[in-house]
Amino acid sequence: MLTGIFSPSKCADCKLCCNFHRSSAWETPALNEAQIFLLNELCVPLEKRSDGTTSFFLNFCTDSEDEIANCPMLDPNSGCTLPREDRPFECRIWPVRVMREHSRLVIGIYQNCAALEGDAFEKLREFTLKELLPQILEYAHKNPRAVREFDTAYQIIWKS
Ligand code: SF4
Ligand code: SF4
């Protein structure tokens, strides 16, 4: 959805969104029923999380909090191996995220995203508010368990 706003080559170098420390394993993206079906067909390891959503199983080899595991769909050389239309919604809108702050919904942009140089942040903010807002709110309405708690690493661009 957002490749017209910032450079895919930045993501190819960074890959921050597609690998996870053990302590941030809860950030793996929530999957919908169609994605779960597809990934089961492909024998991709999945797991049910404590919030009731299903996501990717991360294959950590040790108990270390510092160990990093890749999303099983990540090819370290070429990036995400899922077709764009089959990616989890959270992946398709990243570095935008819908969150809950107390009882309100907020939408924020991850401030440490390496791709948001120059005017990319402002372009992304405008695009999100003009084009993505209805889809994001519909997603949050249909998937309330997948809405994360607000994190100060995100700059809020919209509040309910
Ligand atoms: S943090 Fe930003 S630059 Fe890095 S992979 Fe994610 S979207 Fe791309
Ligand atoms: S599904 Fe693709 S974009 Fe999403 S975390 Fe996994 S590799 Fe990254």
Residue whose CA is at the smallest distance from ligand 1 atom 1: 113
Using CA atoms, how far apart are residues 98 and 154, in angstroms rounded to an integer? 10
**The tokens 């995220």 sit on which residue?**
97
Query: How remote is the CA of residue 137 from the centroid of ligand 2, in Å?
Result: 21
Nearest to 46 by CA among 108, 88, 17: 88
Ligand nearest to the Cα of 29, by number: 2
**Segment 60-99, tens digit of pLDDT:** 888 777 889 999 999 888 888 999 899 999 999 999 999 9
- Provide residues with CB under 6 Å of ligand 2: 17-18, 29, 71, 73-74, 80, 82, 87-88, 91
pTM: 0.89
Residue from 91, 92, 94, 110 whose mutation best tests the ligand 2 pocket (most atoms within 8 A of CB): 91
Residue whose CA is at the smallest distance from ligand 2 atom 2: 80
Using CA atoms, how far apart are residues 74 and 20, in angstroms rounded to an integer? 12
Give the lowest-confidence range in 78-82, 107-111, 130-134, 141-145: 78-82
